[in-house]
Amino acid sequence: MTTLSHLNKNDQPAIVDVSKKKITCRKATAQAILILPKQLLEALQRDDFKTKKGSVFQTAIIAGIMAAKKTGELIPLCHPLGLDNCTVDIELNDNQEIVILCTASIEAKTGVEMEALTGASVAALTIYDMCKALSHDIVIKEIKLMEKTGGKNDFKRK
Using CB atoms within 10 A of its CB, is residue 84 exposed (0-12), middle (13-18) or buried (19+)?
Answer: middle
Residues 6+ apart with CB under 8 A from 56: 44, 49, 50, 127, 130, 131
* 84 carries an active-site annotation: no
Selected catalytic residue, list 84, 89, 129, 154? 129
Q: Whole-angstrom Cα distance, residue 25 to residue 144?
A: 21
Q: Give 35's strand partners.
A: 139
Catalytic residues: 129
